[in-house]
C-alpha cells in the first residue's frame, strides 16, 4: 500500500450501555504516525449496522443530550419490525440513517482540523454488542 493511503482498525469496548465514545485522541495518535506533516483527509468509519460517527462537543453535556435526542427520535420500544436482540433493538438499526457510520475530516500539516469544541465520537446505542471496530484511514 502506498504511503499516500494508510489505515488502522481501532477496537473499542463501548460496553453494555448506550454511549458516546470520544475517539479524538485515537485519531490524533493515528495521524501523528500516518500523516507526518502532510495535508490530506481522515476518514473515520464504523463497519456496524447499529452505530455511527458524530462530530460533537463532549464533556459539557452534549453527548448526553445526543443520546436523549436519539431516545426521542428512536424510542426503545416494540414499534420496530426488526425485533431480534434487546427490546427496542430495531431502533439501533435505524440509527445510522440519522448518525452516519462515517465522517471525513480535513488534515492540515498532519493535524486534524476540528473546531474548538468539536470531537470525533462513536455513537453506540446497541447494548447487545459491547465491542466495536472503527477504521481510520488517512489519504495524503
Using the predicted structure, report yes or no on whether residue 56 has a pLDDT greater than 80: yes
Q: Angle, nearest 10°, between helix axes 90-98 and 62-73?
A: 120
Calculate mean pLDDT across residues 94-116.
97
Closest C-alpha to 32, from 125, 111, 131, 91: 111
User: Which long-range contacts does 4-7 make (Cβ < 8 Å, 24+ apart)?
Assistant: 4/40, 4/139, 4/140, 5/137, 5/138, 5/139, 5/140, 6/33, 6/34, 6/137, 6/138, 6/140, 7/135, 7/136, 7/137, 7/138
d(CA 6, CA 25): 17
Strand, helix or coil for residue 10? strand
- % of the chain beyond a pLDDT of 70: 99
d(CA 40, CA 62): 28
DSSP-assigned letter for residue 128: T
- % of the chain beyond a pLDDT of 90: 84
Calculate mean pLDDT across residues 63-69.
96
Q: What is the mean pLDDT of the chain?
A: 94
- What pLDDT, on the 0 to 100 scale, is given for residue 1? 47
Amino acid at each position: 500500500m502506498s504511503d499516500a493511503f494508510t489505515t488502522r482498525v481501532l477496537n473499542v469496548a463501548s460496553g453494555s450501555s448506550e454511549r458516546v465514545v470520544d475517539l479524538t485522541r485515537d485519531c490524533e495518535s493515528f495521524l501523528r504516525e500516518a500523516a507526518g506533516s502532510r495535508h490530506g483527509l481522515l476518514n473515520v468509519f464504523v463497519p456496524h449496522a447499529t452505530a455511527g460517527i458524530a462530530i460533537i462537543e463532549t464533556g459539557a453535556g452534549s453527548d448526553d443530550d445526543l443520546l436523549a435526542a436519539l431516545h426521542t427520535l428512536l424510542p426503545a420500544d416494540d414499534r420496530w419490525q426488526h425485533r431480534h436482540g434487546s427490546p427496542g433493538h430495531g431502533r439501533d438499526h435505524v440509527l445510522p440513517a440519522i448518525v452516519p457510520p462515517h465522517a471525513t475530516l480535513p488534515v492540515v500539516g498532519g493535524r486534524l482540523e476540528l473546531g474548538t469544541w468539536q470531537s470525533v465520537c462513536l455513537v453506540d446505542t446497541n447494548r447487545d454488542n459491547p465491542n466495536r471496530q472503527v477504521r481510520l484511514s488517512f489519504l495524503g
